[in-house]
Structure 1
């Protein structure tokens, strides 16, 4: 009886040791997995995992600007010259122009190119120009060609096949003449501050003269502080040309003395009775 109990106790002891050994093995395995998941980081080390390297891929961009546009004799085949990066084979590919919309007044053309991003060997700091061609759905005619918000071309008044780049006064500025719209455009041709006031105009369709008054001093309501009502006056003489009113000379003197020194053909009838500008 004692022998049986002794053997039973030994068996129980072996089973207990086996369970403890199995538990130790399991705990060791879990510790290995945890360390593997953490990599080389340790608690409180403050180490930052490495940033993954970007895989190079081709991405679409708009050019820096469209500098010129040409229209073939058929009125539909359009070539646009765009400024793009330069420096290697991965800087630019697939330069293209696509018609995105049309209306009675405007044809919109989107210009784009592909660039390889994430290429550590690319050096695209330089610039160059490239040409893309597109066939319009119909002849451009008198419509404007828009390549972005700030860049518009027109065939009107252009030296074809080159289209004319429209300026601050738009593609179709008001013709020269004795009209308020043409006077406003004459002011725009001058290097004067915004909100410049225009005085009486003297005009005969080919020649124009008027005074302008530009505010000087602090930006405040007139009378609020010394200098608020200060202004500077000038008299400008213009000649009508195809592009609009072209400034001839600026003056503050009475009569025609200054303008006749530069342009003797300016009519005396428009300036002989003018007083000096205050």
Structure 2
């Protein structure tokens, strides 16, 4: 009996060892399956449309429901989810709204290389009235003033009520913008009668220096622009570095002599080296 018991114990031990090995092998096989390469899910991240991607806004008949039209990523697979518009803290006479969505478009592998039009809706706590709707930051600004309902009017760089064309500081700023002048441009002189305008503008050039007495640090480039009043503000029609009236009146005979006769030629340091263009 003792010998049989011994053989039984040995057999049981062997069976246990085999079972452990089998279980271990299964475990390793399963673990191997888990470590096999698999397709990595694309990250979906919170995004917001830029100012240029906010293309329109409409005001509902209740004067409170606003529908905002935006351009969003598009592709062969889903590219946008959770598109929404939320009110943020009012500032002055404005109603700020932030549009957001979740998208994998930040990953090149998403295929979201095209755009599509989408709409997000938000309900204001009270009628919009004369307040301005600001969507995003920096925002696209809309107003009901001068709009064709149900659309709201998209305002320009000079705001919803730009300064009237005239001999005013705000009007001159609009004139500088109209010629796509470089950043940090400043006005040297204005000659204006309300219908016609001469504007001398210039901007710094050369190396960045600490010594303003060094001519290399204070050199400038500049332009002289001629404008006529238009419905949307000053409209540039001619540019030259020469003085007097001949050049501008060759282009526009109606330009008034009192505005151009006193003009001196721009000094070489104040105008570009390229030939004047219209």
Q: Considering the TM-score relative to the shorter chain, is it more than 0.5? A: yes
Q: 1:76 aligns with which of 64, 80, 83?
A: 64
Offset at 1:55? 8.2
**Residue 18 in 1 paired to residue 8 in 2?**
yes
Comparing 18-27 and 245-254, the one that deviates more: 18-27
TM-score by length of 2: 0.70
> Which of 1 and 2 has greater Rg?
1
Q: Secondary structure at the match of 1:245?
A: strand
Is the contact between residue 151 and residue 165 of structure 1 (CA under 8 Å) also seen in structure 2?
no
Structure 2 match to 1:49: 35
Is the contact between residue 87 and residue 97 of structure 2 (CA under 8 Å) also seen in structure 1?
yes
Task: Provide, for residues 162-210 of structure 1, a one-character-per-residue CA deviation record: whole Å limited to 9, x for no partner.
Answer: 4333333344444444343443343233222222232122223343222
Task: Provide, for residues 33-87 of structure 1, a one-character-per-residue CA deviation record: whole Å limited to 9, x for no partner.
Answer: 2222222778xxxx9813456789x997645722122335664343322223445
Comparing 32-41 and 83-92, the one that deviates more: 83-92
Structure 2 match to 1:180: 169
Structure 1 match to 2:275: none
Is the contact between residue 59 and residue 114 of structure 1 (CA under 8 Å) also seen in structure 2?
yes
C-alpha separation in 2, matches of 1:116 and 1:168: 32
C-alpha separation in 2, matches of 1:248 and 1:66: 31
Aligned residue pairs, count: 260
Q: Which ranges of structure 2 fall in alignment gaps of 5 or more residues? A: 268-278
Offset at 1:277? 0.8
Structure 1 match to 2:276: none
Query: 1:134–1:254: structure 2 CA closer, same or farther, 3 Å change rule?
Result: same
Offset at 1:151? 3.6
Q: Secondary structure at the match of 1:39?
A: helix
C-alpha separation in 2, matches of 1:114 and 1:194: 35
TM-score by length of 1: 0.70
Q: Secondary structure at the match of 1:18?
A: helix
Query: 1:94–1:215: structure 2 CA closer, same or farther, 3 Å change rule?
Result: closer
